[in-house]
Amino acid sequence: MRAHLRVVAELGPRQLAELLVAVVHDGASVGFLPPLPVDQVERYWSGLLAAGVVLLIAETDGRIIGTVQLHLASQPNARHRAEVAKLMVHPAARRQGIGRQLMHEVEAEARRRGRSLLVLDTRAGDPSNELYNVGGLPGGRPHPTLSDSSTRRSSTTRS
Ligand SMILES: CC(C)(COP(=O)(O)OP(=O)(O)OC[C@H]1O[C@@H](n2cnc3c(N)ncnc32)[C@H](O)[C@@H]1OP(=O)(O)O)[C@@H](O)C(=O)NCCC(=O)NCCS
């Protein structure tokens, strides 16, 4: 499937909220824990477009089915660097190439903005590790843990 990809400066927080809730309730590690109230998520999206965050969305038939963020480092000695964050594809749209399409486009967007080093965190063992390996990112290494709940911890890898 080919999606239409674009950078957005203004958001429809409801559709993005629905995407994030679906992805988190499906078990993804993207910074939130279920149960996730929609109004909390809408506030998150509304406040996101602070300076230095580029938001890319993937749409088919006018519906948002995926997204990824590029956080541009602002430190004077880090203007070559950006972090890729919150890559997510709706559970019903997976394994159709949308994640790969978003990663290609976010890399192109980073290059256009003069960023030559991309970093990202992902939970060790998740499908995203396969996607990043296929995309040619160098293998990650574990670093301090994420919290899946108040009691459970997962390692992460940094690529
Ligand atoms: C990771 C994620 C974005 C992948 O999106 P997607 O649209 O399904 O990925 P694609 O269809 O583009 O897959 C590209 C390649 O990645 C690998 N891959 C993706 N999902 C995989 C899975 N579940 N198992 C094994 N390999 C997988 C495959 O090599 C695949 O190529 P193929 O289908 O030709 O074999 C999606 O699973 C997701 O949203 N996960 C939850 C959020 C998350 O964990 N995000 C990462 C945060 S860092």
| Higher-confidence position of 70 and 9 | 70
- Give residue 14's pLDDT band: very low, low, confident or very high (50, 70, 90): confident
Q: Tell me what pLDDT residue 146 has.
A: 56
Q: Give the range of the structural domain holding residue 107, as residue numbers without chain letter.
A: 4-119
pTM of the predicted structure, to 2 decimals? 0.92
132 part of a folded domain: no
Distance 76 CA to ligand 1 centre (A): 34
152 part of a folded domain: no
SS (H, E, C) 67-83: EEEEEECCCHHHCCEEE
pLDDT at 145 over 60: no
47 part of a folded domain: yes
Distance 35 CA to ligand 1 centre (A): 23
| Closest atom of ligand 1 relative to the 23 alpha carbon | 41
112 part of a folded domain: yes
- Residue position matching structure tokens 């824990």: 33
Provide the percentage of residues in the chain whose pLDDT is more than 90.
62
Is 119 near ligand 1, meaning CB less than 6 Å away?
Answer: no
Is 109 near ligand 1, meaning CB less than 6 Å away?
Answer: no
Q: Tell me what pLDDT residue 40 has.
A: 87
Q: Tell me what pLDDT residue 68 has.
A: 97
Are the C-beta atoms of 85 and 53 separated by less than 8 Å? no
Total number of domains in the chain: 1
Helices of type H across the chain: 13-25, 38-46, 98-112, 127-134
Atom 24 (ligand 1): residue with closest C-alpha?
127
Q: CATH number of the domain that 97 lies in?
A: 3.40.630.30
133 part of a folded domain: no
- Give residue 3's pLDDT band: very low, low, confident or very high (50, 70, 90): very high
Amino acid, single-letter form, for residue 92: A
| Closest atom of ligand 1 relative to the 101 alpha carbon | 12
Q: Which of 128, 137, 159 has most ligand 1 atoms within 8 Å of CB, for mutation? A: 128
Average pLDDT over residues 20-24: 96
Q: Tell me what pLDDT residue 113 has.
A: 96
Is 146 near ligand 1, meaning CB less than 6 Å away?
Answer: no
Is 57 near ligand 1, meaning CB less than 6 Å away?
Answer: no
pLDDT at 60 over 70: yes
| Higher-confidence position of 68 and 42 | 68
103 part of a folded domain: yes
Distance 134 CA to ligand 1 centre (A): 10
| Closest atom of ligand 1 relative to the 131 alpha carbon | 16
Q: Tell me what pLDDT residue 148 has.
A: 64
157 part of a folded domain: no
22 part of a folded domain: yes
